């Protein structure tokens, strides 16, 4: 590997010049207690840290930043930690999705505006992974993604409990009278035992596994539990490796290709990952100048069955997955579908990374011949189109009740979640399990921010009768930790006049997952009449980040990025004067 000249590092523009500005940059670095020898002539490594006390998934990232610094020093770099928006999934309202693009903008501009030569990105909770990497692709400096890692396994009264999945499960049990209020309080302190991201196959592990398979983490790093002593060692290795990557000028544009994305997509499907990844992958691809569509994802979903036996599609947790061999072992099981020649942050190929990655538990990580869900029974991602979703809707059919994969039923339509919750709790509600529950105005513009409202509640009356799944439709998203026959990301959304806006309670909705269709059985003349009478109802913000969001966000099938941020148009490095 040829080593680039020191003079070619962008940080040299700040630190090497013998003028008043160069003096100020050196002077002010020494103001922070650094000796000249500690930073001059060294690659400057940014550590973008999404730690905050509002993000329990990232609670350990302050310590991990120190481990990264250790690695950077050891390899002859100069580390600087830069805080970035934590987008902690649980606390941020209305939804972290509203802020994913904000984090992407912050990451891009932090790296561009400072004298940074390469960066280690510390994140993991759902939107932090796409947010940080969208920004990194756009600024195109050498980066390594250092995933926060999943929290330790949870357990309650001898049963495995997974973050998100079991919260929803026990909430339904509480509403149905299956557990007591005291049980519910007891669960609060027992399900989430340590720092780290959700230990189910939610969006966090979906996204970190995808970017691991794309070659953006150290091989297999996404499966390493947050509180394993290997985790800080991995972080330190990221620090050492990024210094080498700067000297090698190994930036995303030099090795991230459509084939890398398709490797990520194969991992996504084999993991039985979250529907949210469909939005994030397309947004990331568009930043990298790669053509990737919902059809590409659905096509891979039809070739790769769910192999990772993890909640919500299966029955284990991420720590079990790590002990079974982790992502690298899983990737080895789908080798024929991968492009092993793709390069990774190691400088080698994906094939090199997988050379020594055995599987230690064939029940946790299944063989293709023995999948968790066979392709005929359900897929990680099904794409549906029709007069209700001309640009597509998605469904995780592997986590749905198979009897609903072909279904026709009357719609029960809601315009807002408050009314929906009130009505669905009414014990006298006229509803059967054949009804199709619909929540609209939950899309990128309408909600705004496309929140995870799509796992619509089962009517209380039916819960008490033992019903646990129904067909549900939404233009919002659903947590990756949840399950059920939920059709999501309906595009275009109701708030911009998508046909979902024209659906009325009592209309028949027909779903056929095998055929890939989703329609309202309403004749064209009636649809045209309703369209002529339709008026937008979504509240339009006139200031704040949300105003910018509503004016520039794209629809779900396009990745929900801002129109002015997609693509690879060059942005000049800042003028230093
Ligand atoms: Fe952060 Fe699930 S809430 S990863
Ligand atoms: Mg989530």
Cα 276 to middle of ligand 2, angstroms? 9
Q: Phi and psi of 46, rounded to 5°? A: -80, 140
Across-strand partners of 47? 81, 120
Query: Does residue 422 share a domain with residue 290?
Result: no
What's the domain count of the chain? Answer: 2
Report which ligand 1 atom has the smallest distance to the Cα of 126. 4
The answer to whether position 64 is within a domain reads yes
Answer yes or no: is 407 within a domain. Answer: yes
- Which CATH number characterizes residue 391's domain? 3.50.30.80
Domain match, 232 and 282 both: yes
The answer as to whether 575 is a domain residue is: no
Looking up tokens 């891009």 gives 108
- Residue 549 belongs to some domain of the structure: no
- Determine the structural domain holding residue 248 and report its residue range: 42-153+193-354
Q: Is the dihedral of CA 198, 202, 204, 208 positive or negative?
A: positive
CA distance 166 to 321: 18
Bridge-based pairing state of the strands 44-49 and 118-123? parallel
201 Cβ inside 6 Å of ligand 1: no
Q: Is the CB of 148 under 6 A from ligand 1?
A: no
Residue 57 beta carbon below 6 angstroms from any ligand 1 atom: yes
For 95, how many CA atoms within 13 A lie in the half-sphere containing its CB? Answer: 24
Q: Give the residue, out of 50, 53, 89, 166, with the most ligand 1 atoms within 8 A of its beta carbon, to mutate for a pocket test.
A: 89
Cα of 248 from ligand 1 centre, angstroms:
34
Q: Same domain, yes or no, for 342 and 398?
A: no
pLDDT tens digits, one per residue of 542-567: 999 999 999 999 999 999 999 999 99
Residue 171 in domain:
no
Cα 42 to middle of ligand 2, angstroms: 39
Kindly state whether residue 14 falls inside one of the protein's structural domains. no
Q: CB-based burial of residue 177 (10 Å sphere; 0-12 exposed, 13-18 middle, 19+ buried)?
A: exposed
Pocket of ligand 1 contains residue 198 by CB under 6 Å: yes
Distance of CA 537 to the CA centre of its chain: 29
The predicted model scores a pTM of: 0.97
506: pLDDT confidence band, cut at 50, 70 and 90? very high
Q: Identify the pLDDT of residue 481.
A: 84
Ligand 1: does its nearest atom lie under 6 Å from the Cβ of 340? no
Statement to judge: residues 123 and 257 lie in one domain: yes
CA 518 → CA 36, 382, 480, 500, 505, distances in Å? 65, 11, 22, 11, 16
> Can you list the positions of beta strands (E) in 307-427?
382-386, 389-395, 406-414
In the numeric block, which tokens belong to residue 360?
């230690």
Q: Which ligand is nearest to the CA of 90?
A: 1
Q: Are residues 324 and 466 in the same domain?
A: no
Probe residue for ligand 1, chosen from 61, 92, 202 as the CB with the greatest number of ligand atoms within 8 Å: 202
Cβ of 204 below 6 Å from ligand 1: yes
Query: Are 334 and 291 members of one domain?
Result: yes
Pocket mutation for ligand 1, best pick of 123, 126, 207 (most atoms within 8 Å of C-beta): 126
Distance from C-alpha of 488 to C-alpha of 393, rounded to nearest angstrom? 6
Q: Residue with the nearest Cα to atom 2 of ligand 1?
A: 198
Q: HEC string of 198-247?
A: CCCCCHHHHHHHHHHHCCCCCCCHHHCCCCCCHHHHHHHHHHHHHHHHHH
* CATH number of the domain to which 229 belongs: 3.40.50.2300
pLDDT band at 8 (very low <50, low <70, confident <90, very high): very high
- Within 10 Å of residue 546's Cβ, how many Cβ atoms? 17
Cβ–Cβ under 8 Å, residues 518 and 386: yes
Question: How does residue 274 score in pLDDT terms, banded at 50, 70 and 90?
Answer: very high
Q: What is residue 480's predicted lDDT score, i.e. its pLDDT?
A: 87
pLDDT digits (tens, 9 = 90+) for 401-444: 999 999 999 999 999 999 999 999 999 999 999 999 999 999 99
Q: Is 245 in the pocket of ligand 1 (CB under 6 A)?
A: no
What number is the average pLDDT over the span 196-207?
Answer: 96
Q: For residue 202, how far is its CA from the centre of ligand 2 (angstroms)?
A: 6
Based on the fold, state whether residues 95 and 199 are members of the same structural domain: yes
> Does residue 140 belong to any structural domain of this protein?
yes
Q: CB under 8 Å to 39, separation ≥6 — which residues?
A: 15, 29, 78
| Whether the Cβ atoms of residue 157 and residue 127 lie closer than 8 Å to each other | no
How many whole angstroms from 420 Cα to the centroid of ligand 1?
25
For the CA of 197, the nearest atom of ligand 1: 4
Whether the CB-CB separation of 50 and 84 falls below 8 Å is answered with yes
Residue 128 CA to ligand 1 center (angstroms) comes to 10
Residues 401 and 526 in one domain: yes
537 confidence band (pLDDT: 50, 70, 90): confident
- Binning pLDDT at 50, 70 and 90, where does residue 164 land? confident
Q: For residues 114 and 231, state if they share a domain.
A: yes
Q: What is the mean pLDDT of residues 182-201?
A: 94
- Ligand found nearest the CA of 203: 2
pLDDT range class, residue 2, cuts 50, 70, 90: confident
Dihedral sign of CA atoms 307, 312, 318, 319 in order? negative
Question: Residue 165's pLDDT is what?
Answer: 86
pLDDT tens readout for residues 441-461: 999 999 999 999 999 999 999
Q: Output the residue whose Cα is nearest ligand 1's atom 3.
A: 89
Range 91-100 average pLDDT: 96
**pLDDT score of 538:** 86
Higher pLDDT, 168 or 413: 413
Cβ–ligand 1 distance for 128 under 6 Å, the answer no
Label residue 533 by pLDDT band (50, 70, 90). Answer: very high
Residue 360 has pLDDT above 90, yes or no: yes
The pLDDT tens digits of the residues spanning 276-311 come to 999 999 999 999 999 999 999 999 999 999 999 999
Question: Rounded to an integer, what distance in angstroms lies between the CA atom of residue 217 and that of residue 345?
Answer: 7
Return d(Cα 137, Cα 102) in angstroms, integer: 15
Domain boundary among 336, 354, 372: 354
Residue 452 Cβ contacting ligand 1 at under 6 Å: no
Q: Is the pLDDT of residue 374 over 90?
A: yes
On the question of pLDDT at 1 being above 80, the answer is no
> ipTM of this complex > 0.90?
yes
Task: Tell me the best of 53, 57, 191 to mutate to test the pocket of ligand 1, counting ligand atoms within 8 Å of each CB and taking the most.
Answer: 57
Average pLDDT over residues 79-89: 97
Q: Are residues 388 and 286 in the same domain?
A: no
Please count the other Cβ atoms lying within 10 Å of the Cβ belonging to residue 411. Answer: 22
pLDDT value, residue 482: 86
Tokens 């669960």 locate to: 187
312 — pLDDT class (breaks 50, 70, 90) = confident
| Per-residue model confidence (pLDDT) at position 396 | 95
Residue 5 confidence (pLDDT) above 80? yes
Ligand 2 centroid vs 113 CA: distance in angstroms?
Answer: 31
pLDDT digits (tens, 9 = 90+) for 106-141: 999 999 999 999 999 999 999 999 999 999 999 999
Same domain, 148 and 61: yes
Nearest-atom number in ligand 1 for the CA of 205 is 4
Average pLDDT, integer, range 24-28: 98
| pLDDT value for 370 | 98
166 located within any domain:
no
Residue ID of nearest Cα to ligand 1 atom 1: 125
Is residue 320 located within the same domain as residue 392? no
Average pLDDT of span 25-47: 98
pLDDT of residue 123: 98
Site to substitute for ligand 1 among 60, 91, 163, 166, most atoms within 8 A of C-beta: 163
Average pLDDT value over all residues in the chain: 96
């Amino acid at each position: 590997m040829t080593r680039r000249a020191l003079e070619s590092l962008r940080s040299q523009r700040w630190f090497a010049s013998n003028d008043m500005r160069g003096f100020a940059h050196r002077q002010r670095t020494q103001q922070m207690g650094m000796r000249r020898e500690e930073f001059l002539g060294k690659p400057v490594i940014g550590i973008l840290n999404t730690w905050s006390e509002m993000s329990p998934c990232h609670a350990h990232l302050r310590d991990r930043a120190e481990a990264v610094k250790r690695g950077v020093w050891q390899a002859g770099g100069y580390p600087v930690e830069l805080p970035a928006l934590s987008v902690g999934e649980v606390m941020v309202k209305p939804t972290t999705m509203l802020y994913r693009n904000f984090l992407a903008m912050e990451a891009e501009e932090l790296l561009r505006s400072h004298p940074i030569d390469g960066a280690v990105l510390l994140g993991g909770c759902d939107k932090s992974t796409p947010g940080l990497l969208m920004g990194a692709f756009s600024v195109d400096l050498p980066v390594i993604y250092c995933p926060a890692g999943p929290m330790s396994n949870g357990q309650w009264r001898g049963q495995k409990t997974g973050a998100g999945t079991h919260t929803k499960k026990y909430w339904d049990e509480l509403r149905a009278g299956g557990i007591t209020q005291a049980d519910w309080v007891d669960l609060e302190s027992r399900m989430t035992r340590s720092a780290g991201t959700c230990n189910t196959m939610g969006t966090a592990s979906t996204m970190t596994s995808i970017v691991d398979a794309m070659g953006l983490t150290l091989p297999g790093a996404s499966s390493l539990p947050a509180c394993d002593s290997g985790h800080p060692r991995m972080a330190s290795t990221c620090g050492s490796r990024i210094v080498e990557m700067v000297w090698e000028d190994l930036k995303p544009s030099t090795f991230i290709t459509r084939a890398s994305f398709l490797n990520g997509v194969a991992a996504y499907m084999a993991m039985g990952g979250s529907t949210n990844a469909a939005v994030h992958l397309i947004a990331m691809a568009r930043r990298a100048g790669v053509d990737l569509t919902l059809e590409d994802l659905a096509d891979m979903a039809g070739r790769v069955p769910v192999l990772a036996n993890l909640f919500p599609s299966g029955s284990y947790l991420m720590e079990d997955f790590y002990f079974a061999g982790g992502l690298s072992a899983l990737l080895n099981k789908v080798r024929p579908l991968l492009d092993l020649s793709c390069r990774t942050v190691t400088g080698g190929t994906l094939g090199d990374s997988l050379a020594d990655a055995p599987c230690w538990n064939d029940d946790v990580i299944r063989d293709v011949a023995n999948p968790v869900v066979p392709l005929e029974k359900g897929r990680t991602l099904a794409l549906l189109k029709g007069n209700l979703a001309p640009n597509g809707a998605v469904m995780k059919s592997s986590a749905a009740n198979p009897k609903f994969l072909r279904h026709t039923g009357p719609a029960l339509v809601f315009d807002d979640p408050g009314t929906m919750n009130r009505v669905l709790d009414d014990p006298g509600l006229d509803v059967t399990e054949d009804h199709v529950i619909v929540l609209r105005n939950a899309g990128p513009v309408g909600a705004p921010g496309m929140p995870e409202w799509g796992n619509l509640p089962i009517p209380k009356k039916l819960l008490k009768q033992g019903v646990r799944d129904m067909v549900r439709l939404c233009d919002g998203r659903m947590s990756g930790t949840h399950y059920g026959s939920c059709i999501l990301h309906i595009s275009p959304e109701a708030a911009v006049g998508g046909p979902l806006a024209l659906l009325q309670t009592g209309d028949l909705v027909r779903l056929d997952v095998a055929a890939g269709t989703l329609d309202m059985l309403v004749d064209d003349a009636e649809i045209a009449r309703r369209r002529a009478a339709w008026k937008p109802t979504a509240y339009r913000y006139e200031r704040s980040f949300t105003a910018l969001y509503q004016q520039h966000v794209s629809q779900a099938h396009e990745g929900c990025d801002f129109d002015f941020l997609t693509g690879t148009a060059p942005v000049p490095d800042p003028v230093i004067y």
